[in-house]
Amino acid sequence: MIRSAKMSRYSPAEIEARWQAAWEKDDVFKAVRSAEKPKYYVLEMFPYPSGRIHMGHVRNYTMGDVIARYKIATGHSVLHPMGWDAFGMPAENAAMAIGGHPKDWTYGNIADMRDQMKPLGLSIDWSREFATCDPEYYGQQQALFLDFLQEGLVYRKNAIVNWDPVDMTVLANEQVEGGRGWRSGALVERRELTQWFFKISDHSEELLAALDTLDNWPAKVKLMQANWIGKSRGLQFAFSTIDAPEGFDRIEVYTTRPDTLLGASFVGISPDHPLAKLLEKTNPEIAAFCAECRKGGTTEEAIETAEKLGMDIGLRVRHPFDTSWELPVYIANFILMDYGTGAIFGCPAHDQRDFDFATKYGLPIISTFLPAEDADPKVTEAFVPAKSEKVYYNGKFAGETWQTGEEAVAAAIEACEAQGVGQGVTKYRLRDWGLSRQRYWGCPIPVVHCDACGVVPEKKENLPIELPYDVDFGTPGNPLDRHPTWRNCACPSCGAAAKRETDTMDTFVDSSWYFARFTSPHADTPTVMEDAAYWMNVDQYIGGIEHAILHLLYSRFFARAMQITGHLPESAIEPFDALFTQGMVTHEIYLTRDDKDRPVYHLPEDVTDGKLADGTPVEIIPSAKMSKSKKNVVDPLGIIASYGADTARWFVLSDSPPERDVEWTASGAEAAFKHLGRVWNISTRTTEMPKDEEGEGDTDLLRAMHKTIHDVTMGVESFGFNAAIAKLYAFTATLQKSKAGHTAQREAIMTLAQLMAPMTPHLAEEIWTAQGGTGLITTAPWPKADAAMLIDDTVTLPIQINGKRRAEIQVPADMPKEEVEKRALNHEAVLRILDGATPKKVIVVPGRIINVVV
């Protein structure tokens, strides 16, 4: 039994540890399957174990915690787990930079971060914790991989990587800086390797169509995913070539704008197109050009922003509608082999990129449609109207003369098919997911290369294939490749000596099913159907908008793949019922300049009133993402030490809407702390009040209380935490000024504590106990607003004249519209402004507003 000390001053350091111990002792956050209660699964995107928590974590996990605690109070059986996205490059980089081993570094960081997280008082079931680098986890991931392989969901093909020719190693995109390797500074090249792929593209249509079922996802995320999948309807057809090398008498192209076929002025192929590859073998000029095109990074951004280069390879093709019309063929660096057929036709009049290209290489620019019938067909820039806009087609082709782009495309496909020129095709931009990584600190791909049997899956009983510990990071590249013995194994098929695959998996694989693993985190199969069926789906998923596409799309694919392989029920193929994307925590940047005018950054604690300790004024850059290099960081541990976790939790929720960035300010944190102190003082005052004296305004206080219950409940349910907190501030002020009697005040302060409990659980427990509440506030039922107390007898309606507010009237809430209108028109100010004029129209929105139009 917990007895609070005699209440005097609000001292979080003392109460927070005590209540955390109480929750742990009672196991209140242990997720238990229950037959009576509805379940609720709340999950925040798990962190990378960098070693230090930052304010962004505090905000993210506090939001999830508010939901979890609210759901506990509303009678749910709650699953709120935590784990670690623990594989990845930073651990290897640390090993290279400062020595040590990725495993030791990672587990050390996890221990540190767990220690930093626990004082926040989060409602997490720590018994379910795991790290993706635990062999227990990644062994099950290997089992999933083998099942996917058997189902044909995984295959091998060649793909392009960034190659550092000096370090002789593959580079991640972030390791390519301005087209050069980050360590060696060498110009990066593109190189082909055989790699493993998940067949996510087989599910393009499904993943696109199912977005419509995700009612509780932000529309922007669904839109981004839809655009990423990129479904298009176009025409695939061939240009016949003139005197081309053998096997290339046709060049297949795909276009989404067949209606512009009469504006074609050249054919472009990718430097990786089979024809380009053939020609570069014998033609040194073409070889040099292709090599030039292959310089630089592999990102779409790098390719799209690079200067457009092309080379006329001398080959000519015939236009499908006019065999006397010949077009040149260019190799061009902006054409992707991965999309369509790796070949396009260029229509400079209606595509800005083609326009720039044609201008550069002196190619003809032929208009096929115009904004108006009498518009000048001479083109000075690409005319690219929305596809839904009607335009005038000046060349004879297909469909109406005046039609939208969409109509024209459909008509063009139909016409081409009828003439035997190609066929209508639906394509998707989404590519298969390359999962091979030539790195050590990841989940080993459980396959074996046998001279006799080829690529053979490892036997499940040999899992997990564990990473060897004795590796060296002295030289760049994958230490698994260099390991003296680890690769050696017996072929699972024929038993002969064979070699292990040394590639490991993309860390996106690790994070694509962890949410399912949390439902049975220590099982010896990836999931347990019964547990998965009970806890899935995640009812509320919370994380950063930066994961809007890849992580969420991959997870959606994995849920389908796991369903196909019998690891998830059909009901869980859309694993996240509701998604919320939260904003960042930002802070001002403080800087001075050195003698060369370079910025010198200063920590917030070294700056007071815009000055350093020695009086030097600092430049201030507002609202910047917290980053170590800019020194605009606030350490949550320091804040917890000064003010307590409740203050940190309260502040990160109070100042901004959760989906937007919040600026951390010292004064804001101070204010949050003061406010919690005020609430504490009200509780103390209540306990010291005479118990049997009559007060004044009991009903007014309780009315305000019920309104607050209503508003805060709505706020929590709709992620309006900042608005909910504003209501709590207002109610605190009302309570503080109230002269109500003890019974009403006690009810008010206990209710206030309950409404605050999801945000400031320690303070809430302390007040609950001080007021004689039963049990823990954490498990006490959420207060219910009394509907009768929410209805006002009279309402104040603003009166607008021509949309400008000119007066207001008080009327009974249930007064009929006609009566309200009559009263408004007889209002003194209204009569004065109307000055005898007759209103043309009077709009009365009951309970809202009156607008008089003259």
- Comparison of 26 and 300: residue with beta carbon closer to RNA: 300
- Comparison of 299 and 323: residue with beta carbon closer to RNA: 299
- Comparison of 193 and 421: residue with beta carbon closer to RNA: 193
Q: Where are the beta strands (DSSP E) in 690-757?
A: none
The pair of three-digit structure tokens given for residue 452, joined into one six-digit string: 């006799």
Q: What angle do CA 309, 313, 316 make, to 5 degrees?
A: 120
Q: At what angle do helices 666-688 and 645-654 cross, to 10 degrees?
A: 120
- Comparison of 90 and 636: residue with beta carbon closer to RNA: 90
- Comparison of 26 and 546: residue with beta carbon closer to RNA: 546
- Comparison of 17 and 671: residue with beta carbon closer to RNA: 671
**At closest approach, how far in Å is the CB of 571 from RNA?**
27
**Quick one: how far is CA 740 from the chain centroid?**
48
- Comparison of 132 and 519: residue with beta carbon closer to RNA: 132
What is the identity of the amino acid at 321? Answer: F
DSSP secondary structure letter of residue 82:
-
Residues 6+ apart with CB under 8 A from 252: 236, 237, 238, 341, 343
Q: What angle do CA 403, 406, 409 make, to 5 degrees?
A: 95
**At closest approach, how far in Å is the CB of 157 from RNA?**
12
DSSP line for 774-833: SS-GGGSPPP---HHHH--SEEEEEEEETTEEEEEEEEETT--HHHHHHHHHT-HHHHHH
Backbone angles phi, psi at 290, to 5 degrees: -65, -40
- Comparison of 327 and 679: residue with beta carbon closer to RNA: 679
**At closest approach, how far in Å is the CB of 482 from RNA?**
18
- Comparison of 159 and 491: residue with beta carbon closer to RNA: 159
**Number of C-beta neighbours around residue 284 at 10 A:** 9
**At closest approach, how far in Å is the CB of 393 from RNA?**
22
**At closest approach, how far in Å is the CB of 519 from RNA?**
21
**At closest approach, how far in Å is the CB of 848 from RNA?**
4
- Comparison of 400 and 814: residue with beta carbon closer to RNA: 814
**At closest approach, how far in Å is the CB of 854 from RNA?**
9
**At closest approach, how far in Å is the CB of 831 from RNA?**
10
Q: Are 86 and 507 in contact (CB under 8 A)?
A: no
DSSP secondary structure letter of residue 553:
H
DSSP secondary structure letter of residue 240:
E
Which residue in this structure is represented by tokens 């767990």? Answer: 114
- Comparison of 388 and 774: residue with beta carbon closer to RNA: 388
Distance CA 366, CA 345 (A): 13
- Comparison of 572 and 820: residue with beta carbon closer to RNA: 820
Distance CA 133, CA 130 (A): 9
**At closest approach, how far in Å is the CB of 627 from RNA?**
9
What is the identity of the amino acid at 744? Answer: A
What is the identity of the amino acid at 700? Answer: D
Which residues face 39 on adjacent strands? 77
Number of alpha helices (DSSP H) and beta strands (DSSP E) in the chain: 27, 34
- Comparison of 242 and 620: residue with beta carbon closer to RNA: 620
- Comparison of 195 and 769: residue with beta carbon closer to RNA: 195
Distance CA 581, CA 604 (A): 28
**At closest approach, how far in Å is the CB of 654 from RNA?**
7
**At closest approach, how far in Å is the CB of 190 from RNA?**
11
**Among 386, 395, 480, 394, which Cα is nearest to 438's?**
480
**At closest approach, how far in Å is the CB of 318 from RNA?**
30
Cis peptide before 537 (omega within 30 of 0): yes
Distance CA 16, CA 760 (A): 10
**At closest approach, how far in Å is the CB of 221 from RNA?**
7
Distance CA 18, CA 12 (A): 10
**At closest approach, how far in Å is the CB of 477 from RNA?**
12
- Comparison of 460 and 739: residue with beta carbon closer to RNA: 739
Helix (H) or strand (E) holding 504: strand 504-505
- Comparison of 776 and 844: residue with beta carbon closer to RNA: 844
- Comparison of 89 and 533: residue with beta carbon closer to RNA: 89
Q: At what angle do helices 89-98 and 102-117 cross, to 10 degrees?
A: 110
- Comparison of 250 and 360: residue with beta carbon closer to RNA: 360
**At closest approach, how far in Å is the CB of 201 from RNA?**
8
Strands 599-602 and 585-593: antiparallel
Distance CA 283, CA 293 (A): 15
Q: Are 649 and 756 in contact (CB under 8 A)?
A: no
**At closest approach, how far in Å is the CB of 553 from RNA?**
8
Q: Are 448 and 501 in contact (CB under 8 A)?
A: yes
Strands 189-198 and 154-164: antiparallel
Q: Where are the beta strands (DSSP E) in 15-110?
A: 39-44, 77-79
Distance CA 109, CA 102 (A): 10
Backbone angles phi, psi at 368, to 5 degrees: -115, -20
**At closest approach, how far in Å is the CB of 36 from RNA?**
35
What is the identity of the amino acid at 513? Answer: W
**At closest approach, how far in Å is the CB of 132 from RNA?**
8
**Number of C-beta neighbours around residue 39 at 10 A:** 17
**Among 500, 498, 439, which Cα is nearest to 465's?**
500
